[in-house]
Amino acid sequence: MGLSPRPDPRFVETSSNEPWITTKLDAFVNWGRKNSLWPMPFGTACCAIEFMATAASKYDLARFGMERQAFSPRQADLLICAGRVPFKLAPVLRRIWQQMPQPKWCISMGACASTGGMFDNYAVVQGIDSIIPVDVYVPGCPPRPEGLLYGIIMLQKKVANEHSGDKSLRNEMEPDPDTQLYIPPSVIDEVSEPFGNSIHQTRSGL
C-alpha cells in the first residue's frame, strides 16, 4: 500500500523530462502523515525521562519524522502521555486533548498512564483512556526507548492503514454533557478494579 523506497513500477516517465506518479490518495496522505507525526510529550513522571532518552541522539525520534516536538497542543499530532495522571490533572489532560487539531493520535506510555499501574489509590486515574481515546498502549515501568519506538512504529502502521473515506476517524468524541465521561460509569468502575484494566486494553476502541 505505502510508497516503496525502491524504484516503483508505478513511477513512469511519460516524456523525457516530466516524471509523474500514480497512487491512491489514501496512500499518499497517510504516507505524509505517518512520517511527520509531531509529538507532544505530556510527561508527568519517570516515563518522561525515558521519552527524553528516546528523543536524544542514541535512539533519535527524528528518524521517525518527529524532529519537531510540539510543546503546544495546537501544533501537535500525537499526544504521548508519559507518566501517571492524578485526578487533579484529569481536566488538564482532557483540555489539552481538546486543543489538539485533527488529525490526532494518542500514545499511552507506561503502566501508570495505561492502567494506573501500582498507584491503585485515591489520587490516580486508572488509565487515561477513561479521559481521552488512546491509540497505542506501551507497557513497561517505564518502557525502554525501544519499547516506545515499537509503539510509535505500531502507530505509524495504524496511520498508514487509515481510509480517508471513513469520516468517523476524525470525529471528535463528545463526552456526555452531564458527567463529562466518554465511557459509561459502570464500565469505568469495572475496568478500574484491581487488575481489571490489564485485561480490558482494547476499550478505547469502543
Taking the complex as a whole, the smallest distance from the CB of residue 46 to other proteins amounts, in Å, to 19
Between CA 62 and CA 64 the distance in angstroms is 5
Nearer to other proteins, 177 or 205 (CB): 177
Paired with 19 in beta bridges are 13
Taking the complex as a whole, the smallest distance from the CB of residue 39 to other proteins amounts, in Å, to 21
Taking the complex as a whole, the smallest distance from the CB of residue 107 to other proteins amounts, in Å, to 21
Taking the complex as a whole, the smallest distance from the CB of residue 93 to other proteins amounts, in Å, to 10
Between CA 65 and CA 56 the distance in angstroms is 14
Buried b (16+ CB within 10 A) or exposed e, 62-96: eebbbeebbeebeebbbbbbbbbbeeebbeebbeb
Nearer to other proteins, 113 or 188 (CB): 188
Contacts with other proteins by CB under 8 A lie at 87-88, 90-92, 94-95, 120-123, 125-126, 130-131, 175, 179-181, 185-186, 188-189, 192
Nearer to other proteins, 164 or 179 (CB): 179
